[in-house]
């Protein structure tokens, strides 16, 4: 009954630890160290690490960069809103903005090639969720996040907003193509 009573021994901190507890603590601690090692190790040997390269930005500044890319590399438009589909050269800086309630523009990338993707939000927090690749990154207004990506599968992808951003949130869906 003594979890609801004062401990039997005055010097309860001197009571020896039982073998079951001691063994489990060592096992659990070792496992925690292994998990720590995995995170550090993946940065060295793994291919999927979220970049933290970030710059402060404003909607006006970022829109200029997006428009520049759109002017140079648009190949067609899609949907009724006539969203430009942009095919930038491999290795280049590419731009994606999120706003209530759409992403702009649509990117068309090449499989196996690397790009530096710059992302930000024009207004509220949005979520960048690329499906079926299942990569999920937060888009925070005022912060330009630069992530180096290399697609590994051709096909059509959806870019879905997964941070609640108001009444149009569930309709905030766009596309991305990998050739």
Partner 1 sequence: MAYEWPGAAYLMMGLVGIAGISAIVGGAAYIYITVGSLLWGKRLDSGATSPNFTQLQRATPTAIAQTYGSAGFAAPGTFVLAMVFLVAFILYYFINWKYLSTRWALS
Partner 2 sequence: MSVTTTYRTCPRSGLQFENQAEMLIKANAFVGVVWLLIGGVLAIGVVLTRWPAIHWLEAETFYMVLTAHGLDMLIFWLIFFEVAILYFAASTLLRCRIATPKVAWLAFALMLIGSVLNNVAVFNGASSVMMTSYVPMMAEPSFYLGLILFAVGALIACFVFFGTLVVAKREKTYDGSVPLVTFGAITAAIIAVFTISSGAIILIPTWLLSIGVVEHVDPLVYRTVWWAFGHSSQQINVAAHISVWYLVAAVAFGAKPMSERVSRTAFLLYILFLQLASAHHLLADPGLSTGWKVINTSYFMYFAVLASMIHGLTIPGAMEVAQRRKGYTKGLFEWLRKAPWGNPTFSGVFISIIGFGFLGGISGVMMGTEQLNMIIHNTIYVPGHFHATVVVGTTLTFMALTYYLIPVLFQREMIAPTLAKWQPYLFGFDVLLLSCHDGCGHVGCCAAPLGYVVRRSSHGI
- What residues line the site for partner 1 (CB under 8 A)? 1-2, 5-10, 16, 18-20, 23-24, 27-28, 31, 35, 38, 42, 46-51, 114, 130-135, 147-152, 155-158, 173, 175-177
CB contact set of 96 (below 8 Å; sequence gap of 6+)? 66, 103, 104, 105, 107, 117, 118, 119, 128, 159
Q: Which residue, 25 or 75, has its beta carbon nearer to partner 2?
A: 25
Q: Which residue, 61 or 153, has its beta carbon nearer to partner 1?
A: 153
Rounded distance, CA 28 to CA 44, Å?
A: 25
Query: b/e per residue, 82-112, with b = 16+ CB within 10 A?
Result: ebbbbbbeeeeebbbbbbbbbbbbbbbbbee
DSSP 8-state secondary structure symbol assigned to residue 153: S
Rounded distance, CA 103 to CA 83, Å?
A: 9
92 binds partner 2 (CB under 8 A): no
Taken as a whole, the chain contains a residue count of 179
Q: Is residue 43 classed exposed, middle or buried when 0-12, 13-18 and 19+ CB atoms within 10 A define those classes?
A: exposed
At its nearest, how many Å lie between partner 2 and the CB of residue 14?
Answer: 8
At its nearest, how many Å lie between partner 2 and the CB of residue 13?
Answer: 5
Q: Which of 70, 129, 175, 177: binder of partner 2 (CB under 8 A)?
A: 129
Residue of 103, 136, 147 whose CA lies nearest to 121: 103
Q: Which residue, 20 or 167, has its beta carbon nearer to partner 1?
A: 20
Q: Which residue, 42 or 164, has its beta carbon nearer to partner 1?
A: 42
Q: Which residue, 73 or 117, has its beta carbon nearer to partner 2?
A: 117
- List interacting residues with partner 2 (CB under 8 A): 1-7, 9-10, 12-15, 17-18, 20-21, 24-25, 28-29, 32-33, 35-36, 38-40, 42-43, 46, 48-50, 52, 54, 123-125, 127, 129, 131-132, 134-138, 140-145, 160-167, 169-171
């Amino acid at each position: 009954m003594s979890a609801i009573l004062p401990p039997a021994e005055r010097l309860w901190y001197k009571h020896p630890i039982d073998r079951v507890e001691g063994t489990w603590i060592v096992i659990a601690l070792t496992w925690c160290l292994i998990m720590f090692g995995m995170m550090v190790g993946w940065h060295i040997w793994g291919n999927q690490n979220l970049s933290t390269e970030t710059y402060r930005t404003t909607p006006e500044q970022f829109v200029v960069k997006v428009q520049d890319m759109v002017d140079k590399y648009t190949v067609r438009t899609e949907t009724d809103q006539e969203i430009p589909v942009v095919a930038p050269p491999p290795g280049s800086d590419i731009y994606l903005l999120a706003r209530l309630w759409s992403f702009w523009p649509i990117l068309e990338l090449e499989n196996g090639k690397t790009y530096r993707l710059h992302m930000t939000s024009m207004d509220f927090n949005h979520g960048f969720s690329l499906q079926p690749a299942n990569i999920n990154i937060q888009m925070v207004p005022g912060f330009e996040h630069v992530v180096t990506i290399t697609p590994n599968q051709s096909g059509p992808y959806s870019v879905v907003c997964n941070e609640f951003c108001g009444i149009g949130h569930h309709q905030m869906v766009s596309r991305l193509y990998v050739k």
